[in-house]
Amino acid sequence: MYLILLFLLIFLLLFGPQYWAKYTFKKHAMPLERLQGTGGELARHLLDRFGMENVGVEKTKPGSDHYDPESKMVRLSPDNYDQKSLTAVAVAAHEVGHAIQHYNKDSKFALRTRLVIAAQLAQKLGAGVMLIIPIVMLITRAPSSGLIMIVIGLLSMGSATLVHLVTLPVELDASYGKALPILKEGYISKEDETAISSVLKAAAWTYVAASLVSLLNIGRWIVLLRR
């Protein structure tokens, strides 16, 4: 009984935030004609309004909304780019919030960008190390060398989890320090503020959801290596 409860608790911790975010996005994705424009149109308008004409807006694959500081591009999934929905408006404003952070040279955003790049490299290194562990142990016949590489691999793969967690303040600022105050300036009605706030919260916490799922990948490697 206790094992079942423990399993359910772990499942909720790992996948709860992810499914909650998806549910929130879907719940408020219904097109609303009362909105002034689509997510793509709002993003373009806000970028121009804040003097970021050099930042572009384009479509990306579903579920991959983000701001790319390297190419200076706000990327929105097709539904969020094309539709007039509360989810589209909120997500577009959130990603523009990141563009504003970049434009204002926000120190936390700059740190986050460097950490993301480092984590991507570390994750690739970690995955590579984990794959060559059996070969190294076979050649050296030294368990200690394999143990060292396992530790290096797990730490490298775990870097993504750490990055997602430490950058949460950047995400919350994009949602509540930037997007929500801007949208309240007349882009949304009073009756939509609660729903918009929910979507912005989900947008910020998607990084936490991603970090928790990455923990599961590390756990899988640990179980595999113990066999």
pTM, full prediction: 0.76
What's the number of domains the chain is made of?
Answer: 1
Q: How far apart are CA 105 and CA 118, in angstroms?
A: 19
The pLDDT assigned to 85 comes to 97
The whole domain housing 171 covers 2-226
Bridge partners for 66 per DSSP: 75
- Cα–chain-centroid distance for residue 127? 20
Residue 148, pLDDT score: 58
Q: What is the pLDDT along the chain (227 residues), one digit of tens a residue?
A: 666 765 666 566 566 777 888 899 999 999 998 999 999 999 999 999 999 999 999 999 998 899 999 999 999 999 999 999 999 999 999 999 999 999 999 998 988 888 777 666 666 666 666 666 666 666 766 555 555 555 655 556 566 666 766 778 898 999 999 999 999 999 999 999 999 999 999 888 876 666 665 555 555 555 454 55
Sign of the dihedral through C-alpha 86, 29, 75, 122: positive
* pLDDT for res 63: 87
| Consecutive H or E run containing 76 | strand 73-76
Taking CA atoms, 68 is separated from 41, 64, 98, in Å, by: 18, 11, 9
- Crossing angle between the packed helical segments 193-226 and 86-103, to the nearest 10 degrees: 80
